Amino acid sequence: MPWKPPNPIEIYNLLPRTNCGKCGEVNCMAFAVKVSNFEVSLEECSPLFEEKYLGNYQKIKALVSPPVKEVILKTPKRSVKIGGKYVVYRHELRYMNPTAIAIDVDDSMNEETIIKRLRFAEDFTYDYVGRQLKLDLIAIRSTSNNPKQYMKTVQIVVENSSLPIILCSYNPEIIEAGLSILTQEYKPLIYAATKDNWREMAELAKNFNAALAVSGQGNIDTLVSIVKTLTEDLGIVDVALDPGCPKDVSGLFHMIKAFTQLRYKAINEGYKYSSYPLIGTPISVWSYPEQDLTQKVWWETIIAAILITRYADLIIMHSTEGWSLLPLVIWRFQLYTDPRKPVAVEPGIRAIGNPDENSPVFVTSNYALTYSIVSNDIQKSGINAWLIVIDTEGLAVDVSVAAKKFVGEKIVELIKKNNFEEKVKHKILIIPGKASRISGDLEEISGWKVLVGPMDSSEIAAFIKKMWTPEKIREIMES
């Protein structure tokens, strides 16, 4: 039976129905609707924790719990959630918990290298539409197969990083050595239980209360068999599945098929042995003997992009190239946005710097990315300007022009609403180069002169220097 979104009435009937407003909503019905849309957490309803409601709380919890379990990995300072997925297709709701990205270190690396990689993972940041895109975990591998050496490496990681940890080895002695360094404030992921070591790994995971990854080493039957044994016979709760990644592109068919079908079955058929987070290992490409390093990073990036798109909840990477991670963190952000809500800023007329009646007037879209880039570029160029941000429903300039959402009417509407005609002496609108197509229409319906600006806002400074002189302004106004 496929997963169905919770019914708000069902939730409402289980709430206290006192309309106390402690959750911040006007009444219990409004809260129920938001809970059913996953817009607020059920725990916002504090009366639900009173003893008499405890049964109801459990019932609602079951209604809103995801068909793919959420597993939380943590350190004393940070935590990351993986899984917790409700849908196969993003448009059916939205994807929860963006694919966590881990960077590896291993116990043959010297301390300096390890610390360098830890710093890299910790400090990696890309500013995108006002958000900071970051990396999430450290995977610690053992190439030495020596417990003492592994302990030393784990110790270095613990001392120098706050990111959650994956302990990677098929040898239970190595994992045990790694765990011995961690306090109970840690909840690491043990990678991995296989058909050969599942007993020992299960015991370690249970004793430490760690999450346990399962690897079928490429065999999907083995994978689900181990999952069944661990979860049903041994009572392991926090499990994550590695369907297996190829060492090069030749395994794409198997990889995509395994990830897709495991997730498909968990959500659409309620299949319990795949109802856990999925782990992808783009790092696998490094076991391919040939190819130069750039090629390896190239394929690692491609496999990572496929995995992010196709249901991986956690990926382990070796590459620390900025060009490799940059598109991945951006795409991950996009894929995990709520498709029902565009990434948009409020439309309106913004002042950048201290504009006056002679300052230029730019027009742009309300797509958050476009807005942040354009306003940034104007700011950087030191120009005082007005920026008219029209409601393109969160679409970028070129797309919204094509979709007829970047139109003169919307600009005129904002000018009127803000009595903007009184704020500037000239009547010139500078529109994006990519919107040049609307200039004729815009002049006609607004009565303003239209100046087509540069194709990219990085050229605004040069453009203004050349075009925004008293002579030019007069020339345009008289044309």
Partner 1 sequence: MGEKSKEKDEAFNHLLTMILEAISKGIIELHDVEIEAEELEIKLQPIMKSVLKPILEKKVVELSKITFEEPKISFPGKIVEVKIGATKAEGGSRNKVITLGGHTMPPYYYLAGYEAPNPPVFSGDVFDMRISLPRAVRQVFGDVLDNPVEWARIWVDKFGAEAINIHLVSTDPSIKDTKPSESAKLVEELLQQIKVPIVVGGSGHPVKDVEVFKKVSDIAEGERIVLNSLNLDMKLEDICTHIAKKDIVVIDFSPMDLDKAREINRKVYDWIPKNRILLDLNIGGIGYGTEYGFTAMERARLAALLGDEELQHPFNVGASNAWGAREAWVVMDPYWGPREIRGPLWETLTCIICLLAGADYFMTLHPTTVKTLKEMREYLSSKGKRIFEEAADWVSLKIPVV
Binding positions for partner 1, 174-203, rule CB under 8 A: 191-192, 195, 198-199, 203
**CA–CA separation, 215 vs 194, rounded Å?**
5
Q: How far is the CB of 293 from partner 1 (least distance, A)?
A: 6
Q: How far is the CB of 118 from partner 1 (least distance, A)?
A: 13
Q: How far is the CB of 75 from partner 1 (least distance, A)?
A: 22
**CA–CA separation, 433 vs 457, rounded Å?**
9
Considering the rule CB under 8 A, would residue 148 count as an interface residue with partner 1? no
Cβ proximity to partner 1: between 21 and 270 the closer is: 270
Q: How far is the CB of 332 from partner 1 (least distance, A)?
A: 10
Q: What phi and psi values does residue 242 have, to the nearest 5 degrees?
A: -110, 105
Query: Which region, judged by CB under 8 A, interacts with partner 1, from 57-65, 153-161, 284-292, 347-355?
Result: 284-292
Q: How far is the CB of 257 from partner 1 (least distance, A)?
A: 4
Strand order of the β-sheet with 449-452 is 348-352, 385-390, 361-365, 428-431, 449-452
Cβ proximity to partner 1: between 318 and 410 the closer is: 318
Binding positions for partner 1, 291-330, rule CB under 8 A: 293-294, 297-298, 301-302, 305-306, 309-310, 316, 318-324, 326-327, 330
Cβ proximity to partner 1: between 41 and 334 the closer is: 334
Cβ proximity to partner 1: between 57 and 259 the closer is: 259
Enumerate residues 6+ apart whose C-beta is below 8 A from 376: none
Of the candidate residues 66, 67, 164, 244, the single one contacting partner 1 (CB under 8 A) = 244
Of the candidate residues 237, 256, 412, 476, the single one contacting partner 1 (CB under 8 A) = 256
Considering the rule CB under 8 A, would residue 288 count as an interface residue with partner 1? yes
Cβ proximity to partner 1: between 359 and 370 the closer is: 370
Considering the rule CB under 8 A, would residue 402 count as an interface residue with partner 1? yes
Rounded alpha-carbon distances, angstroms, from residue 259 to 312, 360, 464: 7, 53, 52
Considering the rule CB under 8 A, would residue 109 count as an interface residue with partner 1? yes
Contact between 454 and 463 (Cβ < 8 Å): yes
Q: How far is the CB of 260 from partner 1 (least distance, A)?
A: 5
Task: Show contacts of 184-190: CB within 8 Å, 24+ apart.
Answer: 184/209, 185/74, 185/75, 185/76, 186/74, 186/75, 186/76, 187/72, 187/73, 187/74, 187/79, 187/211, 187/238, 188/73, 188/164, 189/71, 189/73, 189/164, 189/165, 189/213, 189/240, 189/314, 190/166
Which SS3 state, helix, strand or coil, does residue 166 take? strand
Cβ proximity to partner 1: between 39 and 269 the closer is: 269
Bridge partners, 165 (sequence order):
138
Tokens of 16: 């206290």
Per-residue interface string for the shown chain with partner 1, residues 448-467, x marking contact by CB under 8 A: -------xx-x---------
Cβ proximity to partner 1: between 221 and 422 the closer is: 221
Contact between 210 and 203 (Cβ < 8 Å): no
Query: Which region, judged by CB under 8 A, interacts with partner 1, from 58-66, 108-116, 353-361, 380-388?
Result: 108-116
Residue type, 352: I
Binding positions for partner 1, 336-395, rule CB under 8 A: 337, 339, 367, 369, 373, 395
Binding positions for partner 1, 127-146, rule CB under 8 A: 128, 141-143, 145
Report the chain's terminal Cα–Cα distance, integer Å.
68
- With CB under 8 A as the rule, give the number of residues binding partner 1: 108
Q: What phi and psi values does residue 211 have, to the nearest 5 degrees?
A: -80, 150
Query: Which region, judged by CB under 8 A, interacts with partner 1, from 44-52, 76-84, 252-260, 346-354?
Result: 252-260
Of the candidate residues 51, 185, 221, 422, the single one contacting partner 1 (CB under 8 A) = 221
The pairing of strands 131-134 and 125-128 is antiparallel
Which of these, 336, 290, 270, lies nearest to 309 by C-alpha position? 336
Cβ proximity to partner 1: between 147 and 246 the closer is: 246
Q: For 6, which DSSP code? A: P
Cβ proximity to partner 1: between 44 and 203 the closer is: 203
Contact between 255 and 245 (Cβ < 8 Å): yes
Binding positions for partner 1, 11-50, rule CB under 8 A: none
Q: For 56, which DSSP code? A: H
